[in-house]
Homo-oligomer: A and B are copies of this chain.
Amino acid sequence: MNVCSDTKASMARKTGSHADITGPAIRAAALRLFARSGYAAVSMRQIAAEVGVRAGALYLYTPDKQTLLFDLMHDHMTALLAAWEAVEKGTTPEAHLQAFVTFHIDFHIDRPDAVFLAYMELRNLTPENFAVVEGLRRQYENQLQSILALGQKTGAFEIDDVRVTTMALIAMLAGIHVWYRDEGRLSRDRIQTIYRELVRRTVSL
């Protein structure tokens, strides 16, 4: 991670230096290709070709292919948690839950490739890397679970099993990426309205 972040400490980069361009370009290409064809099916040579560089050059920016995958997933999950942290959540459990749905759809619709990667390539991580990403994913689930648990305690929600309902709602929301298209029949606002209502119903009698 952060292969070329010493822009401040070292002498300033001059025009003509490509490191600040190539690094992100590699990550962007890897994200696209991994999401499209799967980690195991994409070769380092393909990623390099997409960037307009030879395979060997990739190793100036990542120690190996596995780390490249891990960084993409890790950064996505970290950004997801940070973005949710920054959201205005309202005061009541009802508002809190609605905010979660709205936020989730916004964040995920803007990053289809990263979303795809983050939950399709878990099994291609090494055990250590898997544990890290899985921990972040669990943290995100827990955000929703806490909302449901609080709402249940205060009587705002009527929930049988909080854990199962959490997983059911996460799955329902995550499923959007399967059919969503940018130029599709439904606008983002419309989708958010529909899902806010679907979610509201699952926690109400």
For the complex with contacts A38-B123, A161-B186, A202-B202, 18 further pairs of A-B residues with Cβ separation under 8 Å are A38-B40, A40-B40, A40-B41, A160-B197, A164-B195, A165-B194, A165-B198, A167-B178, A168-B172, A168-B195, A168-B198, A171-B172, A171-B176, A172-B175, A174-B175, A198-B202, A201-B204, A201-B205
Q: Give me the 4 closest cross-chain CB pairs, A-B, nearest first.
A: A171-B175, A40-B40, A40-B41, A172-B172
Q: How far is the CB of A187 from chain B (nearest CB, A)?
A: 12
Give the complex CA separation of A179 and B38 in angstroms: 22
Give the complex CA separation of A120 and B124 in angstroms: 13
Give the complex CA separation of A178 and B120 in angstroms: 12
Beta-carbon contact of B41 and A124 below 8 Å: yes
Q: Is A170 in the interface zone, CB < 8 Å from B?
A: yes
Number of copies: 2
Contacts of A165 in B (CB 8 A): 194, 198
14 contacts between A and B (CB under 8 A): A38-B38, A41-B124, A161-B186, A164-B186, A164-B191, A164-B195, A167-B179, A168-B172, A168-B195, A171-B174, A172-B175, A174-B175, A201-B201, A202-B202
Q: Is A36 in the interface zone, CB < 8 Å from B?
A: yes
Q: Is A37 in the interface zone, CB < 8 Å from B?
A: yes
Give the complex CA separation of A195 and B202 in angstroms: 10
How does the 8 Å CB contact mask read for A152-175 relative to B, with 1 for contact and 0 for none? Answer: 000000001100110111111011
**Which of B36, B160, B186 is in CB contact (< 8 Å) with A194?**
B160
Q: How large is the interface on A (under 10, 10 to 19, 20 to 34, 35 or more residues)?
A: 20 to 34
User: Which residue of the partner chain B has the closest CB to A35?
Assistant: B123
Q: How far is the CB of A159 from chain B (nearest CB, A)?
A: 10
Give the complex CA separation of A63 and B161 in angstroms: 48
Contacts of A202 in B (CB 8 A): 198, 201-202
Contacts of A174 in B (CB 8 A): 171, 175
Beta-carbon contact of A167 and B161 below 8 Å: no
Beta-carbon contact of A161 and B194 below 8 Å: yes
